[in-house]
C-alpha cells in the first residue's frame, strides 16, 4: 500500500468515528416507550431538541409490517423493521 492509500484510510476512519459519535449523541435525545392497545402494543417516540415532545407512534400490523405515524404527517408509512419505523419518525422535519 502507498502512503496516500493509508492516509485516505486514516481520514475515512476519523470521519466515520466522528459521524458515529454524532449519531449516538443525536439518538440519545429520543426515547421509545409503549402502551397496551386493543391489538397489541402501541409504541411512542418522544424527544427532540426542544424538550420532550411526542414525535410519533408505531405498531406492528397483522402482516408483520411496522406502521409509523408521525405527528406532523397524516399518511402512515409501512416498514420491515421497528428500527426503520423509529428512524422514519425521528428523521421527519416538521
> Half-sphere exposure of 66 toward its Cβ, with a 13 Å CA cutoff?
19
Contact indicator for 32, 46 with CB cutoff of 8 Å: yes
pLDDT at 55: 92
Q: Assign 3-state DSSP to the chain and report helix, strand, coil percentages, each to 5.
A: 35, 35, 30
Q: What is the pTM of this model?
A: 0.66
Per-residue pLDDT of the chain (94 residues; tens, 9 = 90+): 566 666 778 777 877 677 666 665 555 578 899 999 888 999 999 987 666 789 999 999 999 999 999 988 889 999 999 999 999 998 886 5
Nearest-angstrom CA–CA distance, 86 and 32: 8
40: left (phi over 0), alpha (psi -120 to 50) or beta: left
Domain ranges of the chain: 3-90
Amino acid at each position: 500500500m502507498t502512503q496516500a492509500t493509508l492516509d485516505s484510510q486514516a481520514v475515512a476512519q476519523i470521519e466515520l468515528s466522528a459521524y458515529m459519535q454524532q449519531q449516538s449523541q443525536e439518538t440519545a435525545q429520543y426515547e421509545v416507550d409503549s402502551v397496551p392497545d386493543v391489538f397489541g402494543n402501541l409504541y411512542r417516540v418522544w424527544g427532540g431538541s426542544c424538550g420532550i415532545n411526542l414525535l410519533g407512534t408505531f405498531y406492528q400490523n397483522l402482516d408483520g409490517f411496522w406502521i409509523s405515524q408521525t405527528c406532523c404527517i397524516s399518511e402512515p408509512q409501512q416498514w420491515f423493521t421497528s428500527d426503520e419505523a423509529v428512524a422514519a419518525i425521528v428523521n421527519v422535519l416538521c
